[in-house]
Structure 1
Amino acid sequence: MTIDAPSDAPIPSVLPKLDEIRQRLRSRTDRQDERRILEILAGATAAELDQLLLELDLRALLGDVDDRLMGPDNRTALLELLTAERLGDLGIPARAALASALQRGRTGRLDEQALRRIWIGTRGADVTRLKNALDGRGGYHDLHQLFYHDIDDDALREELLAHIAREAVAVSASVSTREVKILSDIDDTFYANWKDARYPKKTVYPGVLQFYAELDRGPGAEPGRPGDLTFVTARPGDRLGLVEDATLEALAARGQLAATVLAGSFTRLIGNRAIAEKKLENFVEYRRLYPEYDFVFVGDSGQGDIHFGQRMLELAPEAVKAVFIHDVVATPEHARLDLAVGGVRLFDTYIGAALEALELGLLGPEGAARVAEAAIGAFRAIPFPSHAHRQPRRLEMMLDVARLNEVLPPSLLIETTL
């Protein structure tokens, strides 16, 4: 059964309830405040409760309602109410908001049991929706963080992952084409920021944003669900999520507004193979969270991504549909051909990447053409320091446009003048 999304229209009867709860949460709550909050929530209709959870600061609610030494156990009662007695009244956005609030700060046994009830009480395609809703909330408190860092009970984690796997089987059986999660590196893949001195530093590569968008959209007439981009980076994570949040802010400032970040490790920061193995560890964990999806990886030739892509293909050949590598070190043609035989495709521009994706059936002709048009427009705006810096990159772009035009229908041919 699909759990309906909430209506955008506010429910008038919610407003006084919302105002009273907020008023009681503004100062330190006592037993009377907590009892009244529980009464309001318990007495709300299904639609009212769903909207209340979407409007309230749930982190404050869960933090202010307490289990007291001499009783009553109001926090326990609150979690029982929301995640057991009334869970069926909550849509996926409200469930995601509640799960997100539970993972903030220390996640104790009571919180983990509440999380268990949310996940076990969600079935079928709604599990996929809940996972994506958590990842779509922004910040480092995402699905991967919840399962592999916030939940401490190993047995519980495995139980929930087994539930995800079971529900994914039904989801996969109900669709003709599986959706794709796009995994991407950042430095020298999204923008020039490590070994690539050919472009001005921090230049977002022409066409990369559109390439992500088109992979996310898919090749069919009906676009896939948007928001399936995850960055897998060597940048080390930290317990407070500062690196992940700063990375998301930097990506948003450069046009990539929605994404998830899987960070690296300080202990795996030295050496391409160590970096690749940490990325692989993240991929293995991430794939267990999304077994109903296929995967595409976009990386670069400068820092272990070729090895990572090869290991992905070895580990999950049926699920990894492509490995695209932005060549920033002038890999010889014979080496490119050898890598292509093993499923690793190198490209010079994102127009070339779009051509590779078109050949693999991951983009349609219209999508590939949109990548090319976006790349050309972005290239024209890059402030190269000199003509000598710009000209080789211009020739790469024109060459890939010509190659793409060879396979596009006449109505989609790209203008080659730059």
Structure 2
Amino acid sequence: MLPHSLYPFFLILLLLLLLSPPTHQFQSIAFSTRHHHCLSSSQSPPAPPLPPPSPTSFLQVLTDIDDTLKSSGGLKVGEIALGGLDTQYQRGVVYPGVFTFILELSLHASSPLNPAVLTARAEELKLALELKPDSKICLKAGEVGRKRGVEGWGIGPVLYGSVVEWVNQVNKGFRKFKNFESLLSQESLPQISYVYLGDTGEYDSQAGLQMLRYYPEKVKGVFLHVVGESLRKREMVRDEDMIVNGRPVMHFITYCGAAVKAYENGLMGRDGVERVIESVYEDLREMGVGEEDGRWRDVEREEGVWRFRVMNN
């Protein structure tokens, strides 16, 4: 049964769908231009591999919202997922350590930039879904920046999707990639590079692979938060990392694990990893997550990998 509190929202959604162009129009244009070919290897040949990333003057993290910055809680209306698949945390909970991770990535460059948001949230529903300055996400980002001594750091520009793409999942990755291209067209800073942060439940992998296929000189790597599966399956997916045009695609379960992979690929310093680990544990404690909890043990396992690497370097 649909909760009574969601009836008005669902009616608005249905109305917007009826007023929107037919779905096939979006699907037919999705891969029609040079930059928007299907992701299979049989399409446009990849660009030559690039050298390993090195610190740049400016680095901006591009991030999704649901199941990347905060948990969607796996909420659905019928068969439509309202933002994502993750049920490990309650809907709206900001993931432990996420903003420390983003900030440490940004600080690996000489001048950190505020993260930009590429989301499938519908522009038509901004009244209900807009990322406001007093939201948990924006407040947490600002708090992390202040603690690190980076005043004014927090959520930057937000680029939305449309209601049709929000419901018809196959178009989400394409829209995020188009939003990335829009961001590139507005770029005003020299020597700016990007890192893309998403999850495995919202077609973020398609968006990230498109970025690496066509802009490997701009995108230093892609991080994908593994959600929506059993722990065993998530651990299998976590190990499905790859290199595309000389750039890493990295899967992770916790932001501790993401930081370790960032270090391994030259995207974060050792001290940055330590700060992310400390932040993850601090956030878990504030949530009341104890050491016997599976989410705590996930972090301990990934911290153990880090300690082993440090001891053997």
- What interval of TM-score do these two structures reach, taking the shorter chain for normalisation? 0.5 to 0.7
Q: Which residue of structure 2 lines up, in the alignment, with residue 208 of structure 1? A: 98
3-state SS, counterpart of residue 395 of structure 1: helix
Aligned partner letter, 1:367:
G
Q: Which residue of structure 1 lines up, in the alignment, with residue 118 of structure 2? A: 232
Q: 1:315 to 1:272 in 2, by over 3 A?
A: farther
Paired with 1:248 and 1:356, the residues of 2 have a C-alpha distance of: 31
8 Å Cα contact 1:298/1:325 also seen in 2: yes
Paired with 1:212 and 1:319, the residues of 2 have a C-alpha distance of: 17
Using structure 2 for the length normalisation, give the TM-score: 0.65
Paired with 2:165 and 2:278, the residues of 1 have a C-alpha distance of: 38
Q: 1:176 to 1:196 in 2, by over 3 A?
A: closer
Matched, 1:195 2:100: no
8 Å Cα contact 1:340/1:346 also seen in 2: no
Aligned partner letter, 2:172:
I
Using structure 1 for the length normalisation, give the TM-score: 0.50
Tell me by how many angstroms 1:267 deviates. 2.9
Aligned partner letter, 2:252:
F
Q: Which residue of structure 1 lines up, in the alignment, with residue 49 of structure 2? A: none
Paired with 1:196 and 1:227, the residues of 2 have a C-alpha distance of: 28
8 Å Cα contact 1:181/1:293 also seen in 2: yes
Tell me by how many angstroms 1:233 deviates. 0.7
Q: Which residue of structure 2 lines up, in the alignment, with residue 271 of structure 1? A: 168
Q: Which residue of structure 1 lines up, in the alignment, with residue 134 of structure 2? A: 249
Larger strand proportion of the pair: 2
Q: Which residue of structure 2 lines up, in the alignment, with residue 22 of structure 1? A: none
8 Å Cα contact 1:210/1:371 also seen in 2: yes
Matched, 1:285 2:187: no
1:263-307: CA deviations, max 9, x gaps? 111232123330111111010111222263111011111111111
Larger helix proportion of the pair: 1
3-state SS, counterpart of residue 180 of structure 1: strand
Unaligned runs of at least 5 residues, structure 2: 1-53, 73-83, 143-153
Tell me by how many angstroms 1:259 deviates. 2.2
Matched, 1:349 2:254: yes
Aligned partner letter, 2:272:
G
The higher relative CO (CA closer than 8 Å, separation ≥ 6) is in: 2
3-state SS, counterpart of residue 86 of structure 2: coil
8 Å Cα contact 1:227/1:258 also seen in 2: no
3-state SS, counterpart of residue 357 of structure 1: helix
RMSD (Å) for aligned C-alpha atoms? 2.7
1:87-120: CA deviations, max 9, x gaps? xxxxxxxxxxxxxxxxxxxxxxxxxxxxxxxxxx
Aligned partner letter, 1:269:
W
Q: Which residue of structure 2 lines up, in the alignment, with residue 404 of structure 1? A: 306
Matched, 1:394 2:296: yes
Structure of larger gyration radius: 1
Q: Which residue of structure 1 lines up, in the alignment, with residue 196 of structure 2? A: 297
Count of aligned pairs between the two proteins: 228
1:305-326: CA deviations, max 9, x gaps? 1111111111111211110011
The one of 247, 264, 273 aligned to 1:368: 273
